[in-house]
């Protein structure tokens, strides 16, 4: 956008929204919304506390582990579904059901099955992320140019070669798109898991802050989480753009 | 007329042996009979065109020879060996080039060798030689989307040449490039046939192209496909590439093929 001939950098509108927040906070309308300046100064004290750092480390661990399993299980399953009609018929209904299912409702079941600890949170995270990764990998393989597959076969490619040198790369733009959406869902999964299980990570922190009406602490942690999720998503979007040069020309 | 016509009943081609032969090939797609009892012989070191209207099964036949499709009955022999699948004795050139869009020209050309387990430095040496031979020196690091259609097919051709197969299977290789590039390709193909001592099987729907490049033309008629005639142009090719298109025999064959195909074209 340009104003008075000046090109404004992206997301300049955030300044206006930040200003509005500050005004509402300063007016002291509700305890629920402290001024932004207060939240930010709290943010800097909060991130130095060991409680925050432990929560961040635990969340990062659960998140990375969950995303890792979602990717290493999801991508091969998606590729297999795209390649093999039988596997596709067997799994597709389940993938679609779980994609749209309210997975939050499953978390109590997971807690019963896997206990109240890290394991359940990791599984929750994986369950949030994996379905869209599977579906996108499958879609990527489905649109593959048949003659690339024939070409590989005609030069004697083994099934493993075809898998790693043709199918994976041909589907990579879709796979990365799926991973990006999956990662965003994994952020939800890891937080929801922690909130429901609520004895580790940010879940415990949120519980503590909201129970004690520490609203500026609450908002500070929330801002950190939003910023982290947004950064991860933008990084993956950047990776996606790097392969998009061939996405349109396969 | 100055050409020898041979009826589908196979007559040995004088002075050359047979590199590829198909015997009584029948192919069904479900209940649709695509090829019926098709027998053909492809002389070594020569270029044979499969020509016919669309839907006549020429690409199907080529893919059966390539081992990419299995015939419902009948068999293909390459150098006396029955074909059971793709093999190193045959290499494919595809209509849509079938290049890896994420790989450089070098990697694309070397891909066939890579699949055959040739080590990296060796296969890149060989690939570099063929990249140069098809006139793409300097483009080794370019990606397919940076090349024109004609250059992409040169990459496809270099890839097929670099595996040094004895039989080259070309599926309408020039149909996706522009007319001028196409003429250049046809001239290059003639010198390739002369210099490489490989057997070329060439699918096309262009009558002029088939007559221009072929030592032998097999006319396929559709529903179900069978060989209706085999034409061997006799001697206009020795008169040089510039004179082929105005040679009386060339023009006669083009006319004759058109009159036999005319009734099959909707």
- The 10s digit of each residue's pLDDT in B18-39 is 888 888 888 888 888 888 888 8
Size of interface A-B (CB pairs under 8 A): 58
Closest residue, chain A, to B162 (C-alpha): A155
Residue A68 pLDDT = 95
**Residues belonging to chain A:** 250
Domain boundaries in chain A?
37-247
Whether the Cβ atoms of residue B155 and residue B108 lie closer than 8 Å to each other:
yes
Q: List the one residue out of A197, A204, A67, A59 whose CA is nearest residue A125.
A: A67
Task: Render pLDDT for B50-83 as a digit per residue (tens, 0 to 9).
Answer: 988 877 788 888 889 988 888 888 888 888 888 8
Q: List the one residue out of B169, B162, B37 whose CA is nearest residue B95.
A: B169
CB pair distance less than 8 Å for A155 and B102: no
H/E run at residue B171: strand B167-171
Residue A224 pLDDT = 86
Q: What is the DSSP letter of A116?
A: S
Average pLDDT over residues B128-140: 87
Task: Render pLDDT for A164-202 as a digit per residue (tens, 0 to 9).
Answer: 888 888 888 888 889 988 988 898 888 888 888 767 778
SS3 label, residue A6? strand
Put residue A17 in one of left, alpha, beta given phi > 0 → left and psi -120 to 50 → alpha.
alpha
Is the pLDDT confidence value at B16 over 60?
no
Closest residue, chain A, to B102 (C-alpha): A246
CB pair distance less than 8 Å for A150 and B92: yes
Residue A250 pLDDT = 52
Checking DSSP bridges between strand A2-3 and strand A6-7, what pairing results, if any?
antiparallel
Q: List the one residue out of A108, A126, A118 whose CA is nearest residue A203.
A: A118
CB pair distance less than 8 Å for A147 and B63: no
The domain A37-247: what is its CATH number? 1.10.3720.10
Query: What end-to-end distance do the CA atoms of chain A give, in Å?
Result: 34
Is the pLDDT confidence value at B15 over 60?
no
Q: What is the DSSP letter of B214?
A: -
CB pair distance less than 8 Å for B144 and A249: yes
Nearest Cβ partner of A151 from B87, B92, B102? B92
Question: With an 8 Å Cβ cutoff, is B68 touching chain A?
Answer: yes
Q: Does residue A7 or residue B252 have the better pLDDT?
A: B252
Torsion of CA B218, B221, B225, B226, to 10 degrees: -50
Task: Render pLDDT for B205-247 as a digit per residue (tens, 0 to 9).
Answer: 888 888 888 888 888 887 777 788 888 887 777 777 777 778 8
CB pair distance less than 8 Å for B66 and A154: yes
**Cα-flanking dihedrals φ and ψ of residue B242, to 5°?**
-75, -20
Residue B6 pLDDT = 45
Residue B8 pLDDT = 44
Residues of B in contact with A249 (CB under 8 A): 101, 144-145
Closest residue, chain A, to B112 (C-alpha): A155
Closest residue, chain A, to B99 (C-alpha): A148
CB pair distance less than 8 Å for A147 and B143: no
Nearest Cβ partner of A155 from B96, B115, B143? B115
**pLDDT by residue for chain A (250 residues), tens digit each?**
677 777 777 677 888 888 888 888 888 777 778 888 888 888 888 888 888 888 888 888 989 999 999 999 999 999 999 988 899 999 999 999 988 888 888 888 888 888 877 888 899 899 999 999 999 999 999 988 888 888 998 888 888 888 888 888 888 888 888 998 898 889 888 888 888 876 777 877 887 888 888 888 888 888 888 888 888 888 888 888 887 766 665 5
Tell me the nearest-neighbour CA distance from B211 into chain A, angstroms: 27
Q: How far is residue B115's CA from residue B194's CA, in Å, rounded to a whole number?
A: 28
Burial (CB count within 10 angstroms: exposed 0-12, middle 13-18, buried 19+), residue A94: exposed
Question: With an 8 Å Cβ cutoff, is A2 touching chain B?
Answer: no
């Amino acid at each position: 956008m340009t104003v008075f001939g000046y090109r404004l950098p992206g997301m300049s509108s955030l300044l206006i929204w930040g200003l509005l927040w500050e005004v509402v906070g300063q007016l002291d309308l509700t305890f629920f919304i402290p001024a932004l300046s207060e939240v930010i100064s709290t943010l800097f004290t909060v991130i130095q506390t060991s409680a925050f750092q432990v929560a961040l480390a635990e969340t990062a661990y659960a998140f990375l582990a969950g995303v890792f399993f979602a990717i290493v299980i999801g991508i091969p399953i998606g590729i297999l579904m795209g390649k093999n009609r039988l596997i596709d018929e067997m799994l597709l209904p389940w993938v679609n059901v779980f994609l749209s299912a309210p997975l939050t409702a499953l978390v109590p079941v997971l807690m019963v099955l896997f206990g109240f600890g890290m394991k359940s949170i990791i599984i929750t995270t994986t369950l949030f992320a994996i379905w869209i990764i599977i579906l996108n990998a499958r879609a990527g393989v489905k649109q593959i140019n048949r003659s690339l597959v024939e070409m590989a076969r005609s030069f004697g490619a083994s099934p493993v070669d075809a898998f790693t040198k043709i199918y994976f790369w041909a589907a990579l733009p879709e796979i990365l798109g799926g991973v990006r959406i999956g990662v965003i869902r994994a952020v939800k999964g890891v937080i929801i898991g922690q909130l429901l299980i609520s004895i580790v990570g940010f879940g415990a922190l949120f519980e503590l802050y909201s129970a004690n009406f520490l609203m500026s602490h609450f908002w500070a942690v929330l801002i950190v989480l939003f910023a982290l999720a947004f950064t991860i998503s933008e990084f993956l979007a950047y990776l996606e753009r790097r392969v998009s040069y061939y996405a349109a020309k396969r | 007329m100055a050409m020898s016509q041979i009826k589908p009943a196979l007559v040995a081609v004088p002075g050359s042996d047979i590199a590829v032969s198909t015997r009584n090939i029948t192919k069904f797609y479900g209940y649709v009979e695509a090829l019926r009892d098709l027998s053909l012989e492809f002389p070594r070191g020569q270029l044979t065109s499969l020509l016919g209207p669309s839907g006549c099964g020429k690409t199907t036949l080529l893919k059966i020879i390539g081992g990419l499709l299995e015939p419902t009955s009948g068999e293909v022999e390459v150098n006396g060996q029955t074909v059971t699948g793709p093999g190193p004795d045959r290499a494919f050139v595809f209509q849509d080039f079938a290049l890896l869009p994420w790989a450089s020209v070098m990697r694309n050309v070397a891909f066939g060798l890579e699949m055959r387990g040739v080590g990296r430095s060796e296969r890149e040496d060989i690939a570099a030689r063929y990249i140069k031979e098809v006139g793409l020196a300097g483009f080794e690091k370019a990606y397919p989307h940076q090349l024109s259609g004609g250059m992409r097919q040169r990459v496809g051709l270099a890839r097929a040449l670099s595996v040094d197969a004895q039989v080259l299977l070309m599926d309408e290789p020039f149909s996706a490039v522009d007319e001028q590039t196409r003429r250049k390709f046809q001239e290059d193909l003639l010198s390739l046939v002369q210099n490489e001592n490989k057997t070329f099987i060439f699918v096309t729907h262009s009558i002029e192209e088939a007559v221009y490049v072929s030592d032998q033309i097999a006319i396929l008629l559709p529903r179900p496909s069978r060989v209706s005639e085999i034409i061997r142009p006799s001697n206009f090719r020795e008169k040089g590439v510039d004179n082929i298109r105005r040679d009386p025999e060339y023009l006669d064959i083009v006319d004759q093929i058109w009159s036999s195909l005319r009734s099959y074209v909707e």
